[in-house]
Amino acid sequence: MTTTIGYLHTDTQRGTITLAVPCEPCRAFHWHGAGTVEQPYYSPGDLTDRRSHCHNGNNYSAITISPEPYRPEWVTPQRGRFSAAYRREVAR
């Protein structure tokens, strides 16, 4: 089993939660549904059995939910690619 990290993102206006999974081959996040504020699918520290759906070679069969939430500043506004802020976060 190959495990990667994922970050929960809550959309307070819609009441939805998504799971952002970083993908190095794409240099961007892939998104998975993660429930609603009332009924979340996951909590920080959970291990999911979600499989990769990336066609560029990012291969994982499980995701560990990070205690850190997803932050919008982790992507560039133009193309949605990893930003310098995300690279700094990963390096720490």
62 and 39 in contact (C-beta within 8 Å)? no
Is the pTM higher than 0.85?
yes
Give the DSSP H or E segment for 20.
Answer: strand 16-23
Identify the pLDDT of residue 91.
Answer: 86
Task: List, for residues 15-42, the tens digit of each pLDDT value.
Answer: 999 999 999 899 999 999 999 999 999 9
Yes or no: say if 77 and 54 are a contact pair by the CB < 8 Å rule.
no
pLDDT tens digits, residue range 35-81? 999 999 999 999 998 878 788 888 888 999 999 999 999 999 888 89
Give the tokens for residue 2: 């190959």
DSSP string of 45-63, one letter each residue: T-EE-PPP--TTS---SEE
Q: In what helix (H) or strand (E) does residue 32 lie, and over which residues does it extend?
A: strand 28-36
Domain residue ranges in the chain: 3-91
Structure tokens that stand for 84 in this block: 């310098």
